[in-house]
Structure 1
Amino acid sequence: MADIRLKHYHVRKGRGYWLVTPKMRAHGFENVRCGPDGAQAWAIAQEWEQRWQRARKGQEVSQRKVYPRNSVGYAFERFRHTNEWARKPSRTREDWDRGWQYIEPVFGDLNPSVVSFEMLDGWYSKWCKVKGVGEAGRAMKTWRALYNVMAAMKLCQPKQDPSLAIRKTSVRGRTETWTEGEVVRLVKGAWRAGYRGLACIIAVAWDTSFSPVDVRTLTPAQAMQTAKEWGFLIDRTKSGESAFGTLSVRTQRLVVGYVGSLGVTLLDEAPIFRSRGFAPGPKGGRPRAGVPYTKDALVDDFADLRRLVFGDSEKRRLMDMRRSGAVEANAGGASVEAISAKMGNSIDENKALQRTYMPVNLVAVRAADEHRRKGRKLLGQEHNEFKKLKLGGEKS
């Protein structure tokens, strides 16, 4: 290993530490565990050394604020430098940061043991009015998760979080669904408009009941074939459950045609579906090749396509196709276990046994597909619109 010399950085039993002096402690700095001695630990130590140098020189701190010892902010900063934080998916860390922006201005400098029920009640009520129940609920969820972390750090009493006495106002869950005919219109509209990667994403999402993030990150390495069908075998991003998403013959042809049109050989771990890019028109412009879809790019392109096909009044989302598949399978009589195997989640109650004995149950997946087809037919025969019933007679 290279001989790295960093000021205030020390190695003890193979682990690196950034150790502060009394003068540094007076400025609010504390010792930092940097992890196993190596490049990552050096980077952490270097970051904290830069913070100290800026604080020592009286310069405005351009990175994170230095919080009082044993405060809520101090605990959050400690947590950010743990392996537990590093193991969290990037989207989960983004959710924590999004919730933290509401916690920090009020509680960042306080010791968690002095945060009372009344303080939390007023804080939550304020954000409900200012940002809505969705953002306020996210902030409360972050606080409750952070309280458990602070309790583990012995900064407050375990299982004594005063926020548990506050009943969160839940955001009403989505109930929107798509029909097969509407999905076909979206796929055809996307292909004709040049959104060919998006057309494949929509078709695959409909057939597999995968979430948008699981579809847009599919790679050639996940394409699998069985004796009867082919599709994609994944470990779901959110739950980690295994799932096998089968594709209809029509979607298979679409995906194969799209991959052939790319003109390149995809690596096994490269995302398959890409944005449409840009080709210069009569007015010129800079050509731009399509790139793997990000979350925001997929949301934006789907919104543009939805507007193109159904107009400005349509507000359903790509994520609603996952729910549509479950509704169809349920209407066709599929068991909870079959739907769980199809969706790759733990919708059934016996989560441990499902993971142990049915990691990917092809029989259950096929049963869910068959029930979806039955349910789709039954739902197509229903007219589920509610109309106002006039019980009173006409006024004279």
Structure 2
Amino acid sequence: MAKIKLKHYHVRKGRGYWLVTSKMRAYGFDNVRCGPEGPAAWAVAQEWEQRWQLARKGVDTSTRKVYPRNSVGYAFERFRQTNEWAKKPERTREDWDRGWQYIEPVFGDLNPSVITFEMIDGWYSKWCKVKGIGEAGRAMKTWRALYNVMAAMKLCQPKQDPSLAIRKTAVPGRTQTWTEGEAVRLAKAAWRAGYRGLACIVAVAWDTSFAPVDVRTLTLGQAVDAGGDWGFLIKRGKTGEDAFGFLSARTKRLVESYVSGLDYTLHDDAPIFRTQGFAPSEKGGRPRVAVPYQKNSLVDDFAEVRRLVFGSDERRRLMDMRRTGAVEANAGGASVEAIAAKMGNSIDQNKTLQKTYMPVNLAAVRAADESRRIGRRKLGSEQNEFKKLKLAGEKS
């Protein structure tokens, strides 16, 4: 392995460290563990050296801000360098970053030990008014998780988080569901409008009850045959739990038609479903290559197809199909265990026991699917219409 010479980088017992001087410490920098000696450690050291040189020269840059030593921002930067942060799912890290943008302007430069209940109360109240209770709640959730990290770093007292005296305002949970006919209409409309990848996503989401992120990232390598039935075996992006979803014959034909119509060959680890793309016509236009769906492009395209089918007043989302699957299965008499296997999560209170005694199995998934069909028929026949009873007797 080639040797590399970096300023302030040192190797001790096979591990690399970026070590600061007293002058650098005065700017808020601290020693950084770069990991085992090698290219990855060199990259970490080089990044921190660049931050120091820019800070020393007073250059305004897009690199991360350097916070005072032992401040909230200092703790968050330290946490980002740990294995615990690296192990978090991508969506969890995104949630932390989203909450951090509300924490940083107010508390980033402060030592956590000086932050009082009144300060937290005013901060939370402000974001409730400015951004709404949903975003304020996300910010509070991030703060409470970060406080535990800072306590572990001995920057504040454990179990003394001043925010615990504040009762968060809960956001009303979503209750919207779709019907099978509506899902079919959406898939057909998407296909006819040229959103063929989206049509497959809608159909697969309906059959499998997978979350949108898990459907849009499906690959050919996750497709399996189980007793003659097609399905996808995945690890859920949010929880890392195993999940399996069967495809109906109709969805199988749709996916087969989509894949066979592609003008390129998909690798086993490449996402299957792509955006519409655009090929210039005689009238011109800018070409766009079809690319794997991302979160925003999926939301935008689904909203466009939803508008075509149901009008601009419709607000249900693709994610509501996942809830529909649980509602139908529950109405059909499926056990909590079968629904947990179907959805790839732990619905009851003890997740450890769920993992131990209820591993994902095809029989449980088939049972949940059959219960969905039974529940769908029951829900379709029950109109939930109520008439007011007249219990008072007639006066003589």
Smaller-chain TM-score bracket: over 0.9
Distance 1:59 1:381, change over 3 A: same
Q: Does 1:164 align with 2:197?
A: no
| CA–CA distance in structure 1, aligned partners of residues 57 and 258 of structure 2 | 58
Contact 1:67–1:109, Cα closer than 8 Å, also in 2:
yes
Which residue number in structure 2 is paired with residue 28 of structure 1?
28
Aligned to 2:331: 331
Structure 1 position 51 matched with structure 2 position 51: yes
One-letter identity of the residue aligned with 2:244: F
Look up the match of 1:394.
none
Mapped partners of 2:236, 2:366: distance in 1: 19
CA, structure 1 residues 92+388, in 2 after alignment: closer, same or farther (shift >3 Å)?
farther
1:47-92 deviation per Cα after TM superposition (whole angstroms, max 9, x unaligned)? 2211221222232343222211111111011111112112222222
After TM superposition, the structure 1 stretch with the greater mean CA deviation from structure 2, 41-50 or 372-381, is 41-50
Encode CA deviations 1:83-132: one digit per residue, 9 max, x unaligned.
21122222222211111111111111111111111111111111101111
Change (3 A) 1:27 1:7: same
Q: Which residue does 1:211 correspond to in 2? A: 211
Partner of 2:67: 67
CA contact (8 A) 2:91 2:238 kept: no
Inter-partner Cα distance in structure 2 for 1:279 and 1:183: 28
Kept in 2: contact 1:209–1:342 (CA 8 A): yes
One-letter identity of the residue aligned with 1:327: V
Give runs of aligned pairs for residues 1-396 of structure 1, distance below 5 A. 1-384=1-384
Residues 159-195 of structure 1, C-alpha deviations (whole Å, 9 max, x = no match): 2211111110011110000000101100110010011
Query: Secondary structure at 2:129's aligned position in 1?
Result: helix
Shift of 1:35: 1.7
Shift of 1:2: 1.6
Secondary structure in structure 1 of the residue aligned to 2:238: coil
Query: In 2, distance between residues paired with 1:85 and 1:263?
Result: 40
For 2:232 and 2:245, locate their aligned partners in 1 and report how far apart those are by CA, in whole Å.
Answer: 5
Q: CA deviation at 1:282?
A: 3.8
TM-score calculated relative to the size of structure 1 = 0.95
* CA deviation vs aligned residue, 1:266-304 (integer Å, no higher than 9, x gap): 111111111111122342123333111111110110011
Q: Offset of 1:386 from its aligned partner?
A: 7.3
Query: How many angstroms apart in 1 are the aligned matches of 2:284 and 2:385?
Result: 49
1:305-350 superposed Cα distances (whole Å, 9 cap, x missing partner): 1011111000100000000011111111111111111111101344
Task: Pick closer, same or farther for the CA change 1:172–1:387 going to 2, 3 Å.
Answer: farther
Q: Which runs of 5+ in 1 are unaligned?
A: 392-396
The answer (yes or no) to whether the contact 1:243–1:344 under 8 Å persists in 2 is yes
SS at match of 1:290: coil
Secondary structure of the residue aligned to 2:314 is coil
For 2:119 and 2:221, locate their aligned partners in 1 and report how far apart those are by CA, in whole Å.
51
Which segment drifts farther, 5-14 or 222-231?
222-231
Q: Which amino acid aligns with 2:149?
A: V
Return the offset for 1:263: 2.9
Alignment check: 8 A CA contact 1:51 1:61 kept: no
SS of the equivalent of 1:156 reads: coil
Q: Distance in 2 between matches of 1:75 and 1:161?
A: 15
* Superposed displacement of residue 228, structure 1: 4.8
Q: C-alpha separation between the residues in 2 aligned to 1:274 and 1:113? A: 49
**In structure 2, distance between residues paired with 1:368 and 1:123:** 45
Identical counterparts, % of pairs: 80
Q: Write the distance in 2 (CA, Å) between the matches of 1:257 and 1:203.
A: 13
C-alpha deviations, 1:218-275, integer Å up to 9, x for none? 1111111112522101111112111110111111111111111113221111111111
Query: How far, CA to CA, are the matches of 1:344 and 1:27 in structure 2?
Result: 47
Secondary structure of the residue that 1:20 maps to in structure 2?
coil
Cα separation, 2, equivalents of 1:350 and 1:119: 36
Secondary structure of the residue aligned to 1:243 is strand
Give the Cα separation in 2 of the matches to 1:152 and 1:111.
14
- Distance in 2 of aligned mates of 1:369 and 1:118: 51
- Where 1:232 maps in the other structure, the secondary structure is strand
Q: How many residues align?
A: 391
Distance 1:93 1:387, change over 3 A: farther
Q: Residue 10 of structure 1: SS of its match in structure 2? A: strand
Check 1:200–1:353 CA distance in 2 against 1; reply closer, same or farther (3 A cut): same
How does the TM-score come out when normalised to structure 2? Answer: 0.95
Q: Separation in 2 of the partners of 1:386 and 1:52?
A: 70
Query: How much has 1:365 moved relative to structure 2?
Result: 1.0
Aligned Cα root-mean-square deviation (Å): 1.8
CA gap of 1:285–1:23, structure 2 versus 1, over 3 A, is same
Aligned residues of 1:231 and 1:246 also touching (Cα < 8 A): yes
Query: Who is 2:394 aligned against?
Result: none
Q: Is 2:337–2:358's contact at 8 Å kept on the other side of the alignment?
A: no
Alpha-carbon separation, structure 2, partners of 1:43 and 1:137: 36
Alpha-carbon distance in 2 for matches of 1:165, 1:332: 42
Question: Is contact 1:18–1:45 with CA below 8 Å preserved after alignment?
Answer: yes
Letter in 2 for 1:179: T
> Using the alignment, how far apart are the partners of 2:301 and 2:103 within structure 1?
33
